[in-house]
């Protein structure tokens, strides 16, 4: 089914292995490639135009036969304002210039996968066990033949194949292993935000003691709770423009007090990850079961193949390029989640529960020993400091002791600094020791911490009230950018002298219509009024800058005069 290819720096494509010639042994066979070459697999063979049309038609027929027609519902386009939709339009247009996976490839991949499952239905996860810093980590790697988020679910990207990861972190106590944390790979989240504590039942669903993973439709991102999640993609802006946008946002929200700092970012495009939990379920208690395959660093296809596991679409931002395997990134470098599974979930700074109390007790003893050493060192230094101060006091008024006075002053300054450093360390150690004592007492009582104290951003499904808009709002969101572009094109064609003014009127009109549809009419009117006032102020300054400068100088002079006169009266 699979073929092996290489893309050379001079844009040549070469097939290294045809269908039927590829096996795990052949995949890892050593061969020399030049710098810049990209090795990749292909699940779908190159298609002619006729084959592409046939794949699209057969894909539609398959959906109808399986009654597998996805309904996204209302929400994505209407959720973003006019500027985010404009950014979305620009992002969509970039697909014409970027390398991307054709829709026919997505359709053919689904047909081939459906045929594979018809012949032998099988659901595999690849399991790995590793140990780091007292933790036992169970890694579950899931391989999907195709990521159809864009073509199937109006998401960000498509790419052949997908590798997704779920980690379970266990600790050992009395010869048994107990789960403490789980981490799911997900969009827009990193580090500690990826994990939840095993006993946090409000976040981690379980069936017969097995955690439930809600996979995003097409994207395969993993979530703890079922629902629809908003993911955002930021346009890659130049640094100066990104800085200007931040400064403007700060001025608009903090200085002028308009809107909220949590308002949508004009350069971020909203997408929806559908993890509703209403699709195929595989695992304990379900009709479909997993087939586990154990992997590790000694598994040849894991450690010795560094290429991509699907089509290299030549996308410069890599969104449409296939991923590499569990052990490597797309560029062949080691994958963080493989060699540093603790750091991947921000758990490298957290010891297993049985190790924490002994660590605290050992550190407390070290602090106590250090405090004793500081006190021993500090006492004579503090006494010397007082004695030297007395000597300096006695030397004053005796010119013949000037050189000795200066030397002793320098010594005293150095000694005073040493005493200050020791006293500060002693004070900080005392505070740390008190905090660690309280922590040790809490652990000895068996009190559990807040299971979400480590979270900076909690992934939560967007509520139905936020996700749903009326039909006209959704319709307007779909056509607004196209309507704007058509009107501007007509103005440029038939009334070029009115283009600039027409664009201003068009933007204001669209903004007001947006405000009515989104229920933010008053806020938008205020924003437009402030914006027009700022424009008017700018025009006045440009036209009458001399007069403005004179008025400013007179105002500054009067202000300073009043301040100084008040000071004289006091």
Round to whole Å and give the CA distance between 480 and 484. 6
Residues 492 and 544 in one domain: yes
Residues 6 or more apart from 135 whose CB is under 8 A from it? 169, 170, 171, 342, 347, 352
Answer whether residue 14 is part of any domain.
Answer: no
**DSSP string computed for 505-548:** HHHHHHHHHHHHHHT-HHHHHHHHHHHHHHHHHHHHHHHTHHHH
**DSSP string computed for 219-263:** T--EESS-EEEEEEEE----HHHHHHHHHHHHIIIIIS--S-TTS
Answer whether residue 450 is part of any domain.
Answer: no
Asked if 146 contacts 306 with a C-beta cutoff of 8 angstroms, the reply is no
Host H or E run for residue 66: helix 49-66
Round to whole Å and give the CA distance between 341 and 347. 8
Residues 142 and 266 in one domain: yes
Asked if 82 contacts 278 with a C-beta cutoff of 8 angstroms, the reply is no
How many whole angstroms from its chain centre is CA 378?
Answer: 49
Query: Which pLDDT does position 375 carry in this prediction?
Result: 97
Residues 244 and 175 in one domain: yes
Place of tokens 């955002």: 232
Asked if 184 contacts 211 with a C-beta cutoff of 8 angstroms, the reply is no
Round to whole Å and give the CA distance between 345 and 169. 10
Answer whether residue 262 is part of any domain.
Answer: yes
Answer whether residue 193 is part of any domain.
Answer: yes
Query: Which pLDDT does position 406 carry in this prediction?
Result: 94
Residues 224 and 339 in one domain: yes
How many whole angstroms from its chain centre is CA 465?
Answer: 25
Query: pTM of this prediction?
Result: 0.84
Query: Which pLDDT does position 92 carry in this prediction?
Result: 77
Round to whole Å and give the CA distance between 361 and 433. 10
Q: How many domains does the chain have?
A: 3
Residues 167 and 290 in one domain: yes
Residues 277 and 370 in one domain: no
Q: Which of 381, 411, 445 is the last residue of a domain?
A: 445
Host H or E run for residue 130: strand 124-132
Answer whether residue 457 is part of any domain.
Answer: no
Answer whether residue 13 is part of any domain.
Answer: no
Query: Which pLDDT does position 465 carry in this prediction?
Result: 55
Residues 482 and 411 in one domain: no
Residues 257 and 164 in one domain: yes
Query: Which token pair is 320?
Result: 């449409």
Round to whole Å and give the CA distance between 81 and 264. 8
Asked if 245 contacts 200 with a C-beta cutoff of 8 angstroms, the reply is no
Query: Which pLDDT does position 469 carry in this prediction?
Result: 56
First to last CA, the chain: 93
Asked if 271 contacts 216 with a C-beta cutoff of 8 angstroms, the reply is no
Asked if 229 contacts 467 with a C-beta cutoff of 8 angstroms, the reply is no
**CB under 8 Å, gap of 24 or more: what pairs does 373-377 form?**
374/422, 374/425, 374/426, 374/429, 375/426, 377/422
Pairing label, strands 291-294, 124-132: parallel
Residues 332 and 400 in one domain: no
Q: Of 273, 252, 271, 274, which is closest to residue 261 (Cα–Cα)? A: 252
Query: Which pLDDT does position 268 carry in this prediction?
Result: 72
Residues 518 and 421 in one domain: no
Residues 339 and 366 in one domain: no
Answer whether residue 1 is part of any domain.
Answer: no
Query: Which pLDDT does position 73 carry in this prediction?
Result: 59
Residues in the chain, pLDDT under 70: 68-81, 235-238, 242, 245, 248, 251-267, 318, 464-470, 518-521, 570
Residues in the chain: 570
Answer whether residue 26 is part of any domain.
Answer: no
Residues 239 and 179 in one domain: yes
Query: Which token pair is 425?
Result: 């360390």
Range of the domain at 509: 464-557
Round to whole Å and give the CA distance between 160 and 312. 9
Host H or E run for residue 179: strand 176-184
């Amino acid at each position: 089914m699979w073929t092996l290819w290489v893309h050379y720096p001079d844009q040549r494509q070469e097939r290294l292995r045809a269908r039927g010639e590829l096996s795990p042994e052949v995949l890892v066979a050593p061969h020399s490639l030049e710098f810049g070459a990209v090795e990749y697999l292909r699940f779908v063979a190159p298609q002619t135009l006729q084959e592409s049309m046939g794949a699209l038609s057969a894909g539609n027929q398959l959906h109808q036969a399986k009654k597998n027609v996805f309904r996204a519902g209302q929400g994505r386009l209407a959720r973003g304002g006019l500027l985010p939709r404009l950014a979305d339009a620009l992002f969509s247009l970039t697909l014409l210039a970027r390398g991307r996976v054709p829709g026919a490839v997505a359709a053919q991949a689904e047909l081939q996968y459906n045929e594979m499952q018809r012949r032998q239905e099988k659901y595999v996860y690849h399991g790995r066990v590793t140990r780091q810093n007292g933790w036992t980590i169970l890694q579950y790697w899931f391989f999907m033949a195709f990521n159809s988020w864009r073509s199937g679910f109006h998401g960000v990207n498509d790419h052949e194949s997908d590798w997704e990861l779920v980690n379970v972190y266990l600790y050992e106590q009395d010869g048994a292993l107990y789960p403490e944390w789980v981490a799911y790979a997900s969009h827009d989240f990193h580090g500690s935000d990826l994990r939840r504590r095993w006993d946090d039942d409000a976040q981690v669903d379980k069936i017969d003691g097995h955690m439930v993973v809600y996979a995003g439709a097409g994207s395969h991102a993993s979530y703890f709770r079922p629902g629809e999640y908003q993911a955002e993609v930021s346009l890659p802006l130049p640094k100066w423009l990104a800085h200007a946008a931040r400064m403007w946002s700060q001025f608009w929200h903090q200085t002028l007090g308009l809107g909220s700092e949590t308002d949508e970012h004009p350069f971020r495009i909203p997408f929806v990850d559908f993890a509703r939990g209403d699709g195929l379920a595989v695992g304990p208690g379900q009709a479909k079961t997993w087939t586990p395959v154990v992997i590790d660093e000694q598994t040849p296809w894991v450690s010795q193949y560094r290429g991509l596991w699907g089509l290299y679409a030549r996308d410069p931002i890599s969104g449409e390029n296939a991923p590499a395997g569990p052990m490597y990134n797309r560029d062949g470098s080691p994958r963080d989640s493989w060699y540093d599974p603790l750091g991947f979930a921000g758990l490298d700074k957290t010891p297993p529960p049985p190790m924490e109390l002994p660590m605290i007790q050992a550190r407390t003893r070290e602090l106590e020993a250090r405090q004793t050493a500081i006190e021993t060192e500090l006492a004579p230094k503090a006494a010397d400091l007082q004695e030297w101060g007395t000597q300096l006091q006695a030397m004053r008024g005796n010119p013949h002791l000037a050189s000795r006075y200066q030397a002793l002053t320098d010594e005293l300054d150095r000694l005073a600094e040493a005493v200050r450093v020791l006293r500060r360390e002693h004070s900080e150690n005392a505070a740390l020791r008190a905090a660690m004592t309280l922590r040790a007492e809490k652990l000895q009582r068996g009190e559990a911490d807040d299971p979400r104290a480590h979270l900076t951003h909690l992934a939560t499904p967007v509520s139905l009230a936020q996700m749903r808009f009326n039909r006209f709002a959704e319709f307007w969101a779909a056509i607004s950018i196209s309507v704007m572009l058509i009107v501007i094109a007509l103005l440029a064609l038939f009334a070029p002298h009115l283009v600039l003014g027409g664009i201003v009127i068009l933007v204001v009109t669209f903004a007001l219509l947006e405000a009515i549809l989104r229920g933010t009419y008053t806020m938008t009117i205020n924003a437009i009024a402030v914006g027009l006032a700022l424009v008017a102020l700018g025009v006045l300054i440009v036209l009458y800058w001399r007069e403005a400068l004179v008025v400013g100088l007179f105002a500054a002079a009067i202000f300073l005069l009043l301040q100084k006169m008040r000071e004289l009266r006091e």
